[in-house]
Structure 1
């Protein structure tokens, strides 16, 4: 069976690379290569979908679980599809796949063609592997474009971001330049277009500014848009024909797509505002993507691979989020020997939403930095609140000079990086693994953000537990991804959010950080190791 062949070939390859299931000198070992390879091979042979949590972030510096699905796919007798982000496809083509084909241990076993593209090859007998991006694959599946045939076994890597990918594909947008093009292409309707644009501008810019530069459209603003669309496109059949004939296909499709999305149920209708330029962009995006995704899973067997998707093995919350029925689920935990972190979780700190928190946070960070002042290695301070991040950056830059940098990748070996969660997520793959990661507060989405409030409103309207199904899973996923590089260096995580100690969900936060050794006082031996 393919499971046996994949197991034997991967084992030979790992031994030849001196990355076996036993500990290898000079490099951390991931103990689940062979198990995962058999699971993927079984999914290919039976045509059954599977969900695998590797416990390893795709950007991990020391582990490439991707060998575990590449070998089964490359020895599979039929065609296959690999879906992964652009950067990951590049790594596959430039690093992992060449290593496999250059290996003497796999000589003569791998002869499958591998191509990268946005459409399935035209030749009818293609039995190779096609690499494509989530944007292309989801665009095809959600839009029924027919660029990829059904029933092709599909490996999707990095599904931690599947919900975000899908929401992006299902979001329709009208940019400022689209109004300009509409005026140029429909001069006979200038009055209708300008009137709607002026009314919208007045209504939107009367709203108070917020740090997120966006807000949900209220009923008045939605009414202006609906009246505009009615006056321009729906007044009478002759007007519809005239408008459609005058618009170029690109802009006809753009406005049609936007209005189609607008009329769908359970939509977030919102606007992003650029007050400096006096412009705005309109958006429609689904509050929930599970219903859309549930329609595409029956069309092909899929193996979905993510790092940390759910605390439970069967991933019930994640599967509900992405519309997955009961499927084979496997969860690998980080290896305690090679990926254990030291967790400093002090007790007695003020809660984050109290006035005393900022001063206590600065003192705690100062104590950590002073103890580890002579230690080589990157220190990262994760602070989401923008004013607080700026202030802490200024405080410690005044004390420690140019070692302290705010949201930049240009940091030296003993640098201190002050960053928000999004910056760290986007750049942690190109920065060295930190020996110390200090976290000010849990990455719970803020209810002050209009889009977060909109999604919470959706859960409330449907009588769903918005904290358990949305806020907490989002925070735990973000937390585990942020901590993953620290596991590579077996470093220290300092968490200053005392809600972990006083809220019922604290145990889930600690479970997400496992394996770890926890302490509530500053142990100088940790930082001097």
Structure 2
């Protein structure tokens, strides 16, 4: 049986390399069994590094590909081709890979990024195929981004040229929307929500056009309460870009997961996976408590809350203290873009070129100011930092139209939008944000006053475990 073959291959590898995650033995048998039986499986893994379980997933596919679809990010794809496949070849194993936009004809493993996965779904190319999804806790977010629709002024011009008879009505509608959006903006970099009532006239126009050019057919399908809609303003050009993203992307894919077997490997379980959890007939929690060296955690007492007038000055003063005398790399995470730019500017005026904004080429003792999303995507291209400063906890802001729309949907369902939506997402994100610092045995500083003043702050402390308190800043 394939389970036994996969187990034996991994057992031999473990004899040669004792650094391989030992639970890969069990994982390989579980994945093999799920692929052979075409189960709908969710494996929740207690693992510090998600790269460690690749062998447990890939070895069964080397033995029999099962016509599987492997959905990966660009960084996962790079690791697959640069590390994992060469590693398998050294052991005499070959992974049959197909990367085309159309499905393979010979049963190879079809490797797709998230945009390719969405396109294959829309073209009905995924029928009866087995789906393999690593890092399932981020699956909904990544699918949402892959389904996103962006409409620029050039798309409006294209629509107007395609249907000259509607040109006057489209111009009037565009100008009316432009005036309203710019009048509602509270600052130059604001994102302004577009309500469904604002585009009803456009929806009526698109509904009578036979074949509107891309992306207008998708816009027509997305102008409903299940999608978030907002404008990104460009004050220099007096222009704006329309963005649309689904609130619950997995609901759009629900029938696909009803009809297709799948293997979803996840760390922290997110509420958005609930619709897949109800479909799964195999659910396994695999792994053991993760042993990690404690990290130094600096959380001063009596810090101001983010809405306090003195919070900006607090961030600057504490960041200055934390940076002084450090010889290694410091990373400051802050998802409020206006505040991030202000803090970057203030620190650069004092520390000079050491301070950079979202750059992968800092000095050895540099200070990178960035958002958490940039850090997650770019930390693999950087040396492990000596210090990570969380200026604000990575809790999505209600000023973001997408978050506001999702929260509104939760309110309509009578659910606790903070404890069921925003807080779990933050808690799932924190371990991944601090992992590069933990590997370097560095220190973390949290400058958000909510951590000690809110009851839910204990859950944040738990998510950062293991740690030891750093009561005061002392020279190294």
TM-score normalised to the size of structure 1? Answer: 0.81
Query: CA–CA distance in 2 between the matches of 1:98 and 1:133?
Result: 20
1:328 pairs with 2:283:
yes
C-alpha spacing 1:410/1:454, structure 2 compared with 1 (3 Å): same
C-alpha spacing 1:35/1:433, structure 2 compared with 1 (3 Å): farther
Quote how far apart the aligned CAs of 1:147 are: 1.9
Equivalent runs, 1:264-343 vs 2, <5 Å:
264-306=224-266, 308-310=267-269, 317-320=271-274, 324-326=278-280, 327-330=282-285, 332=287, 335-337=290-292, 340-343=294-297
Quote how far apart the aligned CAs of 1:437 are: 0.8
The answer for the alignment partner of 1:156 in structure 2 is 133
Quote how far apart the aligned CAs of 1:9 are: 1.0
5+ long unaligned stretches in structure 1 = 22-28, 234-242
Which of these residues, 462, 486, 489, is aligned with residue 437 of structure 2?
486
3-state SS in 1 of match to 2:144: helix
1:147 pairs with 2:125:
yes
The answer for the alignment partner of 2:416 in structure 1 is 465
3-state SS in 1 of match to 2:236: coil
Quote how far apart the aligned CAs of 1:56 are: 5.3
Which of these residues, 156, 181, 186, is aligned with residue 179 of structure 1?
156
Quote how far apart the aligned CAs of 1:385 are: 3.1
Equivalent runs, 1:132-143 vs 2, <5 Å:
132-141=112-121, 143=122
The answer for the alignment partner of 1:25 in structure 2 is none
Mapped contact 2:295–2:441 kept (Cα < 8 A):
yes
Equivalent runs, 1:36-47 vs 2, <5 Å:
36-47=27-38
Which of these residues, 346, 353, 363, is aligned with residue 402 of structure 1?
353
Which of these residues, 162, 182, 203, is aligned with residue 205 of structure 1?
182
Quote how far apart the aligned CAs of 1:505 are: 1.4
**Aligned pair count?**
475
Which of these residues, 82, 89, 95, is aligned with residue 83 of structure 2?
95
Query: CA–CA distance in 1 between the matches of 2:234 and 2:312?
Result: 30
1:76 pairs with 2:37:
no
Quote how far apart the aligned CAs of 1:357 are: 3.2
- In the TM superposition, what whole-angstrom CA distance separates every residue of 1:396-419 from its partner, at most 9, and x where no partner exists? 434443322222111132222222
1:521 pairs with 2:471:
yes
The answer for the alignment partner of 1:236 in structure 2 is none
Which of these residues, 426, 437, 444, is aligned with residue 475 of structure 1?
426
5+ long unaligned stretches in structure 2 = none
Mapped contact 1:309–1:318 kept (Cα < 8 A):
no
What RMSD, in angstroms, separates the aligned Cα atoms of the two structures?
2.9
3-state SS in 2 of match to 1:295: helix
Query: CA–CA distance in 2 between the matches of 1:75 and 1:451?
Result: 43
Quote how far apart the aligned CAs of 1:443 are: 1.0
3-state SS in 2 of match to 1:405: strand
- In the TM superposition, what whole-angstrom CA distance separates every residue of 1:205-229 from its partner, at most 9, and x where no partner exists? 3323446532222466234424544
1:128 pairs with 2:111:
no
- In the TM superposition, what whole-angstrom CA distance separates every residue of 1:3-54 from its partner, at most 9, and x where no partner exists? 33222212322443x3x15xxxxxxx64433333233223223322333344
C-alpha spacing 1:11/1:218, structure 2 compared with 1 (3 Å): same
Query: CA–CA distance in 1 between the matches of 2:180 and 2:467?
Result: 54
In our comparison, the structure showing a higher alpha carbon Rg is 1
Quote how far apart the aligned CAs of 1:333 are: 6.2
Query: CA–CA distance in 2 between the matches of 1:393 and 1:77?
Result: 49
1:11 pairs with 2:6:
no
Mapped contact 1:31–1:335 kept (Cα < 8 A):
no
Equivalent runs, 1:217-228 vs 2, <5 Å:
217-218=194-195, 221-226=198-203, 228=205
Mapped contact 2:131–2:260 kept (Cα < 8 A):
yes
The answer for the alignment partner of 1:392 in structure 2 is 343
